[in-house]
Amino acid sequence: MNDLELDVRPLLLNGGDPFGAIMGAVSQLEKGQGLKLFVTFRPEPLFSVMAGKGFTNQATPLDNGDWIVVFTPGDGGSDAVTSNPEAAETWPDPAQYLDCSELDPPEPMVQILAAVESMAEGDVLFALLGREPIFLFPELQARGHAWVGEFDETGDAYRLMIRVGVPK
């Protein structure tokens, strides 16, 4: 099986954010398939995101200063980022909904944290975001909340459910 190739250099050169396109490509990967990514820089922050999804990486500089990064699926990881995957199926319906898809960071994290702090233990918040909130996850964990999240089928929206817990 060949790796899926994605060239985000034109998007980067036009000032765009390639994260949604990259996560969209990841969501289209077949089991065992890797991603070959062409970028204008070494994408260090992406390495930890992809490692959380079960991928290893090999980054190679190209002669023109660009980079090619091959993400290879390993064992472990999944499409959904979660703090407790088996429990999400038993959660109640969301008590609150937030649409943060048009907000720039850090506003989605600020709004989500404020919302969950006002909710009762066991309540569920559903949030729609424009990108994966990788900096929110450690904050949720530190506050004792559980979560599950993934990109929608288009790769343009990130869906996040948070179950309010007790601070540790």
Whether 168 is in a domain gets the answer: no
CATH number of the domain residue 99 falls in: 3.30.110.40
At 129, list the tokens: 């975001």
Identify whether residues 66 and 103 lie together within a single domain: no
Q: Angle, nearest 10°, between helix axes 44-52 and 19-28?
A: 30
What percentage of the chain reaches a pLDDT higher than 90? 40
Identify whether residues 112 and 86 lie together within a single domain: yes
Mark which of 46, 73, 100 sits at the end of a domain: 73
Note the pLDDT of residue 94.
92
Identify whether residues 96 and 130 lie together within a single domain: yes
Note the pLDDT of residue 99.
96
- Cβ-defined contacts of 155-158 (< 8 Å, 24+): 155/20, 155/21, 155/23, 155/24, 155/25, 155/26, 155/27, 155/28, 156/20, 156/24, 156/130, 157/101, 157/128, 157/129, 157/130, 158/23, 158/128, 158/129, 158/130, 158/131, 158/132, 158/133
pTM for this structure? 0.55
What secondary structure does DSSP assign to 52-83, as a single string?
HTTEEEEEEE-TTS-EEEEEEE-SS--SSEES
Per the structure, the count of domains in the chain is 2
Which pLDDT tens digit goes with each residue over 37-92? 999 998 887 887 787 777 888 999 999 999 999 999 875 444 455 555 456 778 88
Nearest 10 degrees: Cα torsion 120, 121, 123, 125: 90
